Each structure stands twice: as structure tokens, then as C-alpha cells.
């Protein structure tokens, strides 16, 4: 056996746990007859918990690359691994409780979820373009099926088809861009790409090619993070997919896409000037400007479109597009402060967004509707749901002391410190615009009267899950120092710095 | 002498034709064929660059993985298309319009 | 000398087959014609791989693309159609802008690619590649290799789940 593989496997344990769980779920699903639902659920839960437990020690492991330079194990990767496992875990807990998925066998769903998680973990740690493409496709294909899981539902099918068509074209374009970069540099490893580019391969006549190939690669990342102009699939897919899947899509693949994008641009495409200070790009290519424009258009379009929506899922879809625009701010500000802001924002975003979707799931379970007008008078029907939704809406708005405020604060501060104060102002203005549609939800729930006055009883399990979301959302202020330290420590060993 | 440029022209043509196919065709299976053209064009790039720009087999290996991914994607895509056909009795993309906004 | 000219002629023939096949895919009226156009495109690609010295890849292309994916696409065509159903090119409105976009893409790519000086470490020897690809799969590319197998499993399960009859 190759002597390098064995120590590599020690640092690959979380992914191996997920794989083992995946295979076990398949076996359990076809073995048990009566206990199938609970058995597969249990295996998946155990798998994710084990993987999370195995991820923690990696935080203190020495940084390096695994498997001949395919994936990196540094603190940022460990952070994202933990983040992604946590998001999949929370979605997993929400899935069996939703009315949409109640009629269906869920064994395959868990398999797909685990497959997507594995892909995302690899995506967040890939440092070779082949690995990036492979893991991106793994996440995407699993997602296509999850979106179309309700075979008999027309909207679910349509959403899956649209998602697939758009996704396959975007990733195909990304692949073409990767091949151009391969031709330019002779390699697919990000670190080596950067070396070749630093020696001037991307200058002069070649800078145009570098621009084209980077733009194409950005198509794939833009698709995964639902940035404009690659966002067209987002509202339809979010609306048609089963809501637990929507919740999953809005957080996890987006985060993984951002992780890969950050890695690509920082490890592959920029020269670093000193640890932790300024990371600049190859001067012949001003794609910082490109991402800046992307960020502004994305957040603006997302917020403006959300104003007109009456369907909760569609509104949250555009809201998540807008939030992706904010997160891109961290990618524009090319330094450790920017990336730290992205990490903080993602943590807050995880809880507040999942929380909002959980409430949407509960309301659908009881009323069968996703329309805003059916949220009228929710205050009288279920104070619990109303208050929790209010907390999530306030956080999404960015109102202190909710978690969302901290995310935005760090992002805007990073922009200001980088000399882009006007950029932060644009972001702040966008947040103000966003207040309208988030506040509209609160107003509808509390101040409007509904026709149906029956009480809504929320099952204990769902209540507990929503509490898990509320606590960090409302109480992050208490722990913000810890979060700040966690994220800045995570940057310490970012490969490429 | 057949050089790198010849292959690049062919791959650019295939890529553009694939894009055209995706943009114009209304039948879902036809769009899938366009997507396959795009992936093939990228593969041609990879193999050509492997010979002329990389001096090793990395591009060819990448191309093998792309073929694998394309196969898996085609399988899933056709499954979704078939499922939609069962529901709507048609795979014309004009019919996919219930999710509007 | 003659051999070189002959090989060039054969190259252009296969290149033409590939591109014409692709055109048929995009412009043909009937879906079956498109599928057969794709067949010729795939065959042409395999021949081009041979010209590039990628013998294993050419065989893989034939086996997987022609023997697998194309058959799958044909099944897809058959199962989602009444055979006499034609796909007419009625969307002339949409067609022209898309043609412009595709042309723009093509010209941009061509222009950019011709001006570029690509990385050039020297030519690759024309050895049979299969053995070395096999070794690389077990060494440098072992992780993608294993992940691809999991990926195929997940895709298989997903596709089967969507299509099967009973709930």
C-alpha cells in the first residue's frame, strides 16, 4: 500500500463516516420492512453525528493536502465541514415531520442527503479543479433528485427539470472554463495554477483568455450560489421543491459554493502579500470589479423582486438571492477580514433561514398553504409560530440584537475598512429596502385577521427544532465574542496564505 | 500539420452549437443533447491540451471523469423527463409553466 | 509525405462529421434525426481522440457515450413520444436572437483562443495510454476515482427512485 495514503485516511475520517452511513442506509432500506422509516432515519442521524464528532479533532490537526493534493485540510475546510454537517443534520430532523414528505418513502431521501453532504464537504475543501468539478456535480445531481422527490406533484417535477437544465448548462460552461485554464497553465491544481499565473502566463494577450475562462468558471459558482445572472432557476425551484429540500438548498449548497469560490480565487488566482494583510489579484485581470458588480446587482434584484411576492417560499427564495449578494461583499473585500465576515454571516444565516423555513413547514402542515394571505391572524392561532417567525424575520432584516445584525455588521465593516465605504452604504440601503417585505410578514401574522381561527398545535418535536433555531438567532449577541474568535482562528491556516 | 488550433476551433464550434441547442430547442431530450455537446466540447479541449499544453495524461484522466459525470447526469435527467412525461403526457418545455413569477 | 496528407484529409473528414453531426442535433426537424446526428458527433469525437493519441479515451467514448448515453437518449425519445410527433422549428422568434448569441460566443472564443500562447512543455510521446491511466487512477487520482463510484451509486439510486412505478 502506498505509504502516503494511510496518514491521509486519518484526516479523511468525517467523509468516510458519511460514506459508511450512506452505504448503510441503502442496505438498511432494503433489509428492514416494518422498521424501515425509523431505522434509516437513525442510521443517517448517527452517521451525521459521528461525522461531526470526527470533524472536531481536525481543527487542531496540522494543515495540509490529502490524496496527492486533491483536497486540503485546513481550518477553513474544517469550519465548513462542521457547518455543512450541521445544516444537513438540522434539515434531516425537519424532513420526516413535513406533510409533503410524509407520504413518501424516505430511505432514498436520506441517501441523497448524505450524498449531497459528502459532495459539499469535498467541494469546500477541494484544491484541484477536477475535484471541484466532481464534487460540484455530486452535490448538484443529488439536489436535482431531491427537488423532484415528489414524483406525483407537477410542481416538484417541473422544478427538478428546470433545476437540472439550468444547472447542467452552467456547470458545462464552468467545465469549459476550467479546460481553458488547464490549457493556459498546464495543470489543474489551484496552487500550481497560481504559480504559473504569477510567472506571467496570464498577462498581455493572454489576459483576455484569463478573463473568459474565469467568467465561465464563475458561471458554475454563480449557479450554485444563485447569483445574478445565474439565479433564474432559484425562485421556481425553491417554490416547487418539498420545503425541507428548499431549506437545505438555501443554506448548504450555497455555503459550499461560496467556500469553493473563495478557495478558487484565493488559492488559485491571487498573489498574497504577507500573511493576513492584503490579498491582491493578478493585475491584468480586474475581476474584483466583476464580483463587486455581481454583488450589487444580486442583492438589489433579490430585494426588489422579493417585494412583490405573495408566496412565502418564493419570497424566501429571492431573499436568499439577496443574502448571497451580501455574502459576495466578503469576496470583494479580499482580505482575512472579508472572509471572516463571510464565515460569521454564514453561521447566522444558517439558523435564521432554516428557522424561517421550519415555520413555513409547520404552517403548511396545518393549513396546506404557502401563501402570505394564509398567515393572517397567525398570532391568534399559534403565538409560538408567530413569535418565532418574527424573530427570524427581524434577524433576516438585520435588526440588533438578532444574529443577522452581526453578520451584516462584520460584512459592512470589512468593506469600510477596505476603503469601499460606498459599497457598504449600498448594502445598507438594500437592507432597508428588505425591511419592507420581512416586516410585511410580521404585520400579516400579528395585525391582520384571518378567516380561520382554529388553534394550530405544533408537535413537540417541531417545537424543539424551532427552539434550536431561535436560540442562536436571538441569543448570538451573548456569544458573539466566541464566534468571532472561532472564525478568526479558522483563518489562521487557510491554505494559500 | 494538424495543430492545437484545429482542435480548439472544433471544440469552440461544438460548444457554441451546444449553447444554441440549449437555447432554441423546446423538447427536453433535445436540450439534453445540447448539453452533451457542451460536455463533449470541453472533453476535446481537455484531451487536446493534455497533448499540447500539459505534457502528461492529466487532461485525459479529467476527460474520463467528465464522461462518467455526463453519464450519471444523463441518467438522472432522463429519469426526471420520464417522470414529467408521465404526469403531463408531454416533454415540451412550454408545458413547464406552472411555477411562474 | 503522402501519409501525412492522407492523415490530414482523414482528420478533416472526421472533424466535418463531428461538426455536421452537431449541426443536425441542433437544427434537425425530427428528434430521431437529432439523435442520429449526435451519434455521428460522438463517433467523430472518438476519431479525434485517436488523432490525439488518446486510445483508451477513444474506446471509452465509444463504449460509454455511443453504447450507453446515446442508447439512453434514444430510449428517452421513444418513451416520451408518439413516433409521428415532429418537433417543428416553429420558434423562429426565439431562434434568431439565440443564433446571434451562439455566434457571438463562437467568435469570442475563437478570437480569444487564437491570440493566446498556451502552456507548452513539449510534445507528449505517442505511447499507448491505458496502462499509465490505470496507474494514475490508483495513485494521483485515487480520491476522485473512489468519489466517482459513490457518485454513480447515488445517481443510480436517485434516478431509479424517480422512475419506478410503485410508491
**Residue B26 · residue B49 · CB < 8 Å:** no
Residue B51 Cα, gap to closest chain C Cα (Å): 5
**Residue B36 · residue B50 · CB < 8 Å:** no
* pLDDT at position C84: 53
Report the alpha-carbon distance of residue A76 to residue A260 in Å, rounded.
11
ipTM over 0.85: yes
Contact residues, chain A, for B81 at CB < 8 Å: 161
Write out the three cell numbers for C41. 458527433
Q: Which whole-number Å values give the CA distances from A370 to A238, A373, A384, C49, in the listed order?
A: 12, 9, 18, 52
- The low-confidence residues of chain B, meaning pLDDT below 50, are 101
CB contact under 8 A, A309 and B72: no
What values do phi and psi take at A241, rounded to 5?
-75, 155
What mean pLDDT value characterizes chain A?
Answer: 87
**Residue B69, domain CATH:** 1.10.287.3510
C161 touches chain A (CB under 8 A): yes
Which domain, by its residues, includes B69?
4-89
CB contact under 8 A, A168 and B84: no
What mean pLDDT value characterizes chain B?
Answer: 90
* pLDDT at position A298: 94
C76 touches chain A (CB under 8 A): no
Residue B45 Cα, gap to closest chain A Cα (Å): 6
Report the alpha-carbon distance of residue C111 to residue C134 in Å, rounded.
37
Beta strands A64-66 and A71-73 are antiparallel
Report DSSP state, residue C116. Answer: P
Identify whether B95 is part of a domain.
Answer: no
Write out the three cell numbers for C123. 510534445
Write out the three cell numbers for A313. 417560499
What tens digit of pLDDT does each residue of A61-79 get? Answer: 888 888 888 888 888 899 9
Query: Which of C32, C48, C150, C166 is best to mutate for the B interface (most B CBs within 10 A)?
Result: C48
Short-list C27, B12, C22, B58, CA closest to A216: B12
A148 touches chain C (CB under 8 A): yes
Is pLDDT above 90 for A169?
A: yes
What tens digit of pLDDT does each residue of A293-332 get? Answer: 889 999 999 999 999 888 999 999 999 999 999 999 888 8
Q: State pTM to two decimals.
A: 0.94
Chain C: partners with 3+ C-beta pairs within 8 Å:
A, B
Q: Is the omega angle on the peptide bond into residue A401 within 30 degrees of 0, that is, cis? A: yes
Write out the three cell numbers for C139. 495513485
Burial B21-57 (b: 16+ CB within 10 A, else e): bbbbbbbbbbbbbbbbbbbbbbbbbbbbbbbbbbbbb
Report the alpha-carbon distance of residue A166 to residue B19 in Å, rounded.
12
Residue C86: pLDDT band by 50, 70, 90 thresholds?
low
Residue A438 CA neighbour count, 13 Å, CB half: 26
Domain ranges in chain A are 286-497
What are residue A281's DSSP bridge partners?
A270
Is pLDDT above 60 for A386?
A: yes
Report DSSP state, residue B1. Answer: -
CB contact under 8 A, C76 and B63: no
Contact residues, chain C, for A2 at CB < 8 Å: 139
Identify whether B98 is part of a domain.
Answer: no
CB-closest option in A68, A151, A183 to C140:
A68
Q: What is the CA radius of gyration of chain A?
A: 22
Looking at chain B from residue 7 to 26, which residues have their Cβ under 8 Å from any Cβ of chain C? 7-10, 12-21, 23-26
CB-closest option in A122, A131, A205 to C116:
A205
CB-closest option in C45, C72, C80 to B44:
C45
Ranking A1-5, A6-10, A163-167 by mean pLDDT, the lowest is A1-5
Short-list A215, C118, C127, CA closest to B49: C118
What tens digit of pLDDT does each residue of A35-49 get? Answer: 888 899 999 999 999
Residue B92 Cα, gap to closest chain A Cα (Å): 11
What values do phi and psi take at A88, rounded to 5?
-65, -35
* pLDDT at position A100: 84
Is A54 buried (19+), middle (13-18) or exposed (0-12) by CB count in 10 A?
buried
Q: What share of chain A is helix, strand, coil (3-state, %, to 5)?
A: 75, 5, 20
Is pLDDT above 50 for A357?
A: yes
Percent of chain A's residues with pLDDT above 90: 48
**Residue A84 · residue A54 · CB < 8 Å:** no
**Residue A335 · residue A410 · CB < 8 Å:** no
Domain ranges in chain C are 1-103, 127-167
* pLDDT at position C90: 43
Query: Which of A133, A145, A186, A215 is best to mutate for the C interface (most C CBs within 10 A)?
Result: A145
Short-list A134, C23, C31, C45, CA closest to B40: C45
Identify whether B94 is part of a domain.
Answer: no
**Fold exhibited by the domain C1-103:** 1.20.120
* pLDDT at position A69: 85
CA angle B59, A204, A331 (to 5 degrees): 70
* pLDDT at position A493: 62
Q: Is the omega angle on the peptide bond into residue A229 within 30 degrees of 0, that is, cis? A: yes
Residue C115 Cα, gap to closest chain B Cα (Å): 10
* A401 contact partners, CB below 8 Å, separation of at least 6: A474, A476, A477
CB contact under 8 A, B67 and C61: yes
Report the alpha-carbon distance of residue B29 to residue C21 in Å, rounded.
16
Amino acid at each position: 500500500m502506498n505509504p502516503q495514503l494511510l496518514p491521509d485516511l486519518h484526516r479523511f475520517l468525517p467523509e468516510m463516516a458519511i460514506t459508511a452511513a450512506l452505504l448503510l442506509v441503502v442496505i438498511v432500506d432494503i433489509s428492514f420492512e416494518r422498521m424501515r422509516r425509523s431505522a434509516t432515519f437513525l442510521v443517517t442521524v448517527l452517521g451525521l453525528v459521528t461525522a461531526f464528532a470526527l470533524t472536531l479533532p481536525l481543527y487542531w490537526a496540522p494543515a495540509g493536502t490529502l490524496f496527492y493534493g486533491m483536497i486540503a485540510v485546513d481550518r477553513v475546510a474544517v469550519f465548513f465541514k462542521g457547518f455543512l454537517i450541521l445544516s444537513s443534520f438540522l434539515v434531516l430532523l425537519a424532513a420526516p415531520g413535513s406533510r409533503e414528505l410524509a407520504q413518501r418513502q424516505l430511505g432514498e431521501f436520506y441517501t441523497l442527503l448524505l450524498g449531497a453532504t459528502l459532495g459539499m464537504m469535498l467541494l469546500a475543501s477541494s484544491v484541484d479543479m477536477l475535484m471541484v468539478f466532481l464534487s460540484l456535480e455530486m452535490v448538484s445531481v443529488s439536489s436535482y433528485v431531491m427537488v423532484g422527490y415528489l414524483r406525483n406533484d407537477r410542481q416538484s417535477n417541473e422544478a427538478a427539470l428546470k433545476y437540472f437544465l439550468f444547472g447542467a448548462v452552467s456547470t458545462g460552461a464552468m467545465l469549459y472554463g476550467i479546460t481553458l485554464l488547464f490549457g493556459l497553465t498546464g495543470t489543474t491544481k489551484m496552487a500550481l495554477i497560481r504559480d504559473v499565473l504569477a510567472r506571467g502566463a496570464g498577462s498581455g494577450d493572454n489576459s483576455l483568455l484569463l478573463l473568459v475562462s474565469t467568467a465561465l468558471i464563475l458561471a458554475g459558482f454563480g449557479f450554485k450560489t444563485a447569483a445574478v445572472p445565474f439565479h433564474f432557476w432559484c425562485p421556481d425551484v425553491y417554490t416547487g421543491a418539498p420545503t425541507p429540500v428548499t431549506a437545505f438548498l438555501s443554506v448548504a449548497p450555497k455555503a459550499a459554493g461560496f467556500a469553493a469560490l473563495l478557495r478558487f480565487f484565493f488559492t488559485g488566482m491571487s498573489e498574497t502579500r504577507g500573511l493576513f494583510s492584503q490579498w491582491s489579484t493578478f493585475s491584468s485581470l480586474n475581476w474584483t470589479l466583476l464580483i463587486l458588480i455581481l454583488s450589487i446587482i444580486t442583492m438589489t434584484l433579490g430585494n426588489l423582486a422579493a417585494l412583490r411576492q405573495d408566496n412565502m417560499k418564493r419570497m424566501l427564495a429571492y431573499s436568499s438571492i439577496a443574502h448571497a449578494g451580501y455574502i459576495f461583499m466578503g469576496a470583494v473585500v479580499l482580505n482575512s477580514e472579508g472572509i471572516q465576515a463571510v464565515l460569521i454571516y454564514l453561521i447566522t444565516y444558517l439558523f435564521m433561514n432554516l428557522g424561517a423555513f421550519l415555520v413555513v413547514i409547520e404552517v403548511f402542515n396545518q393549513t396546506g398553504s404557502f401563501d402570505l394571505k394564509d398567515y393572517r391572524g397567525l398570532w391568534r392561532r399559534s403565538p409560538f409560530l408567530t413569535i418565532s417567525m418574527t424573530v427570524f424575520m427581524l434577524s433576516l432584516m438585520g435588526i440588533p440584537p438578532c444574529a443577522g445584525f452581526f453578520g451584516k455588521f462584520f460584512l459592512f465593516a470589512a468593506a469600510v475598512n477596505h476603503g469601499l465605504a460606498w459599497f457598504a452604504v449600498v448594502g445598507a440601503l438594500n437592507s432597508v429596502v428588505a425591511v419592507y417585505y420581512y416586516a410585511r410578514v410580521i404585520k400579516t401574522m400579528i395585525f391582520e385577521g384571518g378567516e380561520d381561527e382554529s388553534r394550530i398545535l405544533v408537535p413537540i418535536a417541531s417545537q424543539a427544532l424551532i427552539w434550536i433555531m431561535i436560540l442562536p438567532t436571538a441569543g448570538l449577541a451573548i456569544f458573539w465574542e466566541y464566534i468571532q474568535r472561532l472564525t478568526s482562528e479558522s483563518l489562521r491556516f487557510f491554505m494559500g496564505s | 500539420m494538424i495543430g492545437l488550433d484545429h482542435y480548439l476551433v472544433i471544440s469552440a464550434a461544438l460548444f457554441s452549437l451546444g449553447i444554441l441547442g440549449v437555447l432554441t430547442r423546446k423538447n427536453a431530450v433535445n436540450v439534453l443533447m445540447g448539453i452533451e455537446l457542451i460536455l463533449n466540447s470541453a472533453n476535446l479541449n481537455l484531451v487536446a491540451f493534455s497533448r499540447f499544453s500539459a505534457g502528461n495524461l492529466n487532461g485525459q484522466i479529467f476527460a474520463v471523469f467528465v464522461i462518467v459525470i455526463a453519464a450519471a447526469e444523463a441518467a438522472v435527467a432522463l429519469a426526471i423527463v420520464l417522470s414529467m412525461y408521465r404526469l403531463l403526457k408531454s416533454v415540451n418545455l412550454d408545458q413547464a409553466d406552472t411555477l411562474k413569477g | 509525405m503522402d501519409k501525412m496528407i492522407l492523415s490530414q484529409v482523414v482528420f478533416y473528414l472526421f472533424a466535418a462529421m463531428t461538426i455536421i453531426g452537431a449541426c443536425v442535433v441542433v437544427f434537425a426537424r425530427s428528434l430521431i434525426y437529432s439523435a442520429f446526428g449526435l451519434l455521428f458527433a460522438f463517433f467523430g469525437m472518438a476519431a479525434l481522440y485517436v488523432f490525439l493519441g488518446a486510445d483508451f479515451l477513444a474506446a471509452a467514448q465509444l463504449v460509454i457515450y455511443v453504447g450507453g448515453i446515446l442508447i439512453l437518449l434514444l430510449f428517452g425519445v421513444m418513451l416520451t413520444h408518439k413516433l409521428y410527433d415532429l418537433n417543428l422549428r416553429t420558434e423562429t422568434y426565439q431562434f434568431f436572437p439565440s443564433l446571434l448569441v451562439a455566434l457571438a460566443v463562437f467568435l469570442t472564443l475563437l478570437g480569444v483562443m487564437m491570440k493566446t500562447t498556451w502552456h507548452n512543455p513539449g510534445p507528449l510521446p505517442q505511447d499507448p495510454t491505458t496502462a499509465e491511466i490505470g496507474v494514475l487512477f490508483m495513485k494521483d487520482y485515487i480520491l476522485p476515482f473512489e468519489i466517482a463510484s459513490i457518485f454513480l451509486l447515488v445517481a443510480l439510486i436517485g434516478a431509479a427512485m424517480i422512475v419506478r412505478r410503485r410508491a
